Amino acid sequence: MKLTVFGATGGTGVEVVRQGLALGHWITAVVRDPGRLDVPEHERLEVVTANVFEPAEIVPAISGHEAVISALGPRGRGPTTVCRDGVTSIMSAMGTAGVRRLVTVSNSGMHTDGDGLFVRVVVKPILQAMLREGYADMREMEARVVASGLEWTIVRPPRLTRGPHTGRITSSGDGNVRGSFTISRADLADYVLRAVGDRDLVQKPVSVAKA
């Protein structure tokens, strides 16, 4: 497949690019600073320097592709609109380019469906207070994606780690994965790439975690 990846220089995005190439996909990585993309040159990799918040700049990187992956995420714990504004721009550009499949990374921390009592009552309130700005941004991002009418999938991981790619991943479409609270960025990227071609996940949120 021909895939456009946003957030390609982040921890998850770079794994999506690496694994996507290994799987035989054609990858267009949209970045602001090509020097931060820690991926060797590859015949199936195109690196495009553009501002994700300017739809006109990113239309050429999306045109002719089969799907878009957004691994955009906030940096730090301060106020941010990176996710909501980034995905809004991406979806606008997708409309212009005529591309409908979007897989975007969110988080499971701001959701409690499926969680056990202790997690819902004790753990999540603390987590949500600590990360309220980033969660507010991602919550609004999710709302905009759901309202878009695109063929979207929202992937919600728990705490991300730098662990290896194991392929041991569990998922739930009925709320958070119960009893598993981490996933490596490499395994998250694995799931995201598989989700792109999974028609059963179209217009659905799905929570993932380490199996």
- Residue range of the domain that includes 29: 2-210
61-104 tens-digit pLDDT: 999 999 999 999 987 788 899 999 999 999 999 999 999 999 99
Specify the pLDDT at position 101. Answer: 98
The CATH number assigned to the domain holding 43 equals 3.40.50.720
Please check the confidence at residue 129 and state whether its pLDDT lies above 90.
Answer: no
Question: pTM for the full model?
Answer: 0.95
Number of domains composing the chain: 1
**112: burial class by Cβ within 10 Å (0-12, 13-18, 19+)?**
middle
- Rounded to the nearest integer, the mean pLDDT of the chain is 96
